[in-house]
Amino acid sequence: MSGPAAEQPRPRSTALVVDDEPQLARALAINLRARGWDVIVAGDGRGALAAAARRPPDVVVLDLGLPDMDGVEVIAGLRGWTRVPIIVLSARQDSADKVTALDAGADDYVTKPFGMDELLARVRAAVRRAAPAEVEDVAVVIAGSLVVDLARKKVSRDGADVRLTPTEWHLLEVLVRNRGRLVEQRRLLQDVWGPTYGRETNYLRVYIAQLRRKLEADPSRPRHLITEPGMGYRFEAAD
């Protein structure tokens, strides 16, 4: 019988392998499992996004050429709520494809054919580089009567879908991903409108007011979209 001080087994890391070539997906899964990983395999983009939402992985190995959607769309869907390292696999060798994938949020890009040892080394390197998340990665954030689905880019209030403009969604997404923490005005402007913005605080006032009208029970007394005067804004999930 083990005593109270017995060492507890460390949880295994999870890899999500996304590829519609069964032989390659199987080879990747075998090699990752042999090195101590739990492996989830998805054969298309929608399945990958659903699998990641159900069980957030520690690394994603992603083929760009999927049958239902482009791999870049999968990257964008993941980056809506998680910073998990993403290693792209692709037969596309054009530099423009690499730039597009990396700009979308991929951490590394490996062209096919590739050596398994090299790929596994890149996986290890990406995981080592990954910064610990300051806020737990979750696909769905519940705040009272609000449900913000970061993976599907949807929000509902009291069970009814709320229609947001792309800019309203982007602003809400940044705040929810940093829930509980102040996001400064300048950072919000640059994240939502672009790097040349930083002084247009009136934009924030207008769009925060619009979000409060759509999402808060009493927009004049917000419980979730909080203003820190002269500093920025904060999303509070607690009700």
The pLDDT tens digits for 134-179 are: 556 778 889 989 999 988 889 999 999 999 999 999 999 999 988 8
The structure's pTM equals: 0.67
Between 127 and 30, whose confidence is greater?
A: 30
Of 129, 161, 176, the one marking the end of a domain is: 129
Determine contact, residues 18/42, Cβ cutoff 8 Å. Answer: yes
Helix axes 201-215, 185-193, angle to 10 degrees: 80
pLDDT band at 131 (very low <50, low <70, confident <90, very high): low
Of 67, 99, 129, the one marking the end of a domain is: 129
Q: 84 lies in which domain range?
A: 14-129
With pLDDT > 70 as the criterion, what percentage of the chain qualifies? 92
My answer on whether 50 and 104 are in the same domain is yes
Q: Within a domain: residue 3?
A: no
Q: What is the pLDDT of residues 200-236, one digit of tens each?
A: 999 999 999 999 999 999 999 999 999 988 899 999 9
DSSP H stretches of helix in the chain: 22-34, 45-54, 71-79, 95-104, 116-129, 166-177, 185-193, 201-215
The amino acid present at 89, given as its one-letter code, is L
| Token pair for 30 | 């075998």
Between 1 and 80, whose confidence is greater?
A: 80
